[in-house]
Amino acid sequence: MGVVLENISKEFTSADTIQAVKAVSFKVDEGSLVALLGPSGSGKSTILRMIAGLEAPDSGEIYLNGENVTRLPTQKRGVGFVFQNYALFKQMSVFENVAFGLELHKMAPSKIKKRVHELLDRLGLQGLADRFPHQLSGGQMQRVALARALAHEPKVLLLDEPFGAIDAKIRAELREWLRRLHDEMHITSIFVTHDQEEALEICDKILVINEGHVEQAGTPEEIYNHPATEFVAHFIGSMNILSGMVQKDKVPMGPYTFNLNGMNGFQNGDEIRVFFRPQDIYVSRDPKTYALEGTILRTSFLGINMKLDIMAENGSRFSAVIPQYIYHRERLHEGHRVSFQIEELSYVNLREGRQIQRLTVADYEI
């Protein structure tokens, strides 16, 4: 049950360049809230529109609650769709907008009235029933759009960058609020976003989409802590990414340099890319606390944290983020020499492929 895509492919034009969705397959469990997260032009919106039937795939099958809907027109699919720019019916009042789908489903007027007011109450839109879209704020318009999309009890709720046109503060409120609504109504929901924070915060599962394929699918924790590919590592959160070439039996891993003996899978000439998160670095003024040494080039204030730009002895540069209190306790300043350690490090050997390998501190203790 839920939503299933099997080998969905389509060529499409985005910003005047030809793009493609390439044999995408995934499953969204019934009642879950899933994000399609990716940069613009990655094909995530096109995938969503194909689920709604607003675009037709070139090949592949789409199932909603077990029914193959690939060749079913939009109006018969029973989906709810929320557009980035609200797409409210400008000539109709808030009430008429929400009632539109119910009228088409031949519901009795008295029942329509009850259902619409119930939804408006639930979405915090009491008293706005007689307003017209141009009399509402962006946040209100998007809530009306949500009420309208939910009115006919769709099998799946599809949201295309729903909060993209709303300013930051209201956006944070709305997404919390979408999560709460989802928990109350248990409706299978898929939403498209390019905002990772939004996806990480409210979704049960994230599908990272890049260049028309699924880079990685997983829970927010999995995606963040264990990125499967270089793209995901780069795209989600901030990440130190350093490159190096295996030379003279040495493997460069950012500030570390390992001897090749004992390390499997490396050859001279291999191109290595190393990833580690700024918050996975421990820093101390005492040169003996940690194994590696370096110099603080610059510090910047981030609020509860402090960012340090560090240069290691082998010349590699990276950023570390440490809590404010450690920064003060250790009396760290620009120009100071420090010792440091990287708690968790991953790498890609580009000769072998794009999948990321992980090293834990035990692997590289010197």
Q: Give the closest residue to 150 by CA, choosing from 192, 85, 102, 204.
A: 102
Helix-then-strand count for the chain, H and E: 9, 21
Nearest distance from C-beta of residue 93 to other proteins, angstroms: 13
269 touching other proteins, by CB under 8 A: no
For other proteins, the binding residue among 79, 181, 190, 348 (CB under 8 A) is: 79
129 touching other proteins, by CB under 8 A: no
What is the distance between the alpha carbons of residues 252 and 349, in angstroms, rounded to a whole number?
11
For other proteins, the binding residue among 9, 19, 74, 279 (CB under 8 A) is: 74
Nearest distance from C-beta of residue 91 to other proteins, angstroms: 4
Tokens 């809230």 correspond to 33
Helix 94-104 vs helix 138-151: angle between axes, to the nearest 10 degrees? 20
199 touching other proteins, by CB under 8 A: no
52 touching other proteins, by CB under 8 A: yes
89 touching other proteins, by CB under 8 A: yes
The contacts of residue 161 (CB under 8 Å, 6+ apart) are 45, 84, 192, 193, 194
Report the residue number, 10 or 277, with the smaller CB distance to other proteins: 10
Distances (CA, A) of 206 to 20, 76, 201, 217: 20, 28, 10, 6
136 touching other proteins, by CB under 8 A: no
Q: Sort 45 into a burial class: Cβ within 10 Å, 0-12 / 13-18 / 19+.
A: buried
For other proteins, the binding residue among 148, 171, 194, 277 (CB under 8 A) is: 148
101 touching other proteins, by CB under 8 A: yes
Nearest distance from C-beta of residue 60 to other proteins, angstroms: 20
Q: C-alpha 97: how far from its chain's center?
A: 31
Collapse the DSSP code of 93 into the 3-class scheme (helix H, G, I; strand E, B; otherwise coil) and give the result: coil
83 touching other proteins, by CB under 8 A: yes
What is the distance between the alpha carbons of residues 220 and 207, in angstroms, rounded to a whole number?
9
Report the residue number, 97 or 349, with the smaller CB distance to other proteins: 97
Report the residue number, 83 or 224, with the smaller CB distance to other proteins: 83
Q: Give the closest residue to 192 by CA, choosing from 47, 30, 11.
A: 47
For other proteins, the binding residue among 63, 100, 290, 364 (CB under 8 A) is: 100
Which residues face 221 on adjacent strands?
none
Report the residue number, 83 or 177, with the smaller CB distance to other proteins: 83
Q: Give the closest residue to 208 by CA, choosing from 240, 185, 230, 183.
A: 230
How would you classify the pairing of strands 188-193 and 156-160?
parallel
Counting residues that bind other proteins (by CB under 8 A) gives 29
Report the residue number, 4 or 165, with the smaller CB distance to other proteins: 165
Residue 299: which H helix or E strand, with range? strand 292-301
Nearest distance from C-beta of residue 87 to other proteins, angstroms: 4
Nearest distance from C-beta of residue 290 to other proteins, angstroms: 56
51 touching other proteins, by CB under 8 A: no
| Interface residues toward other proteins, by CB under 8 A | 52-54, 73-81, 83, 85, 87-91, 100-101, 104-105, 145, 148-149, 151-152, 158
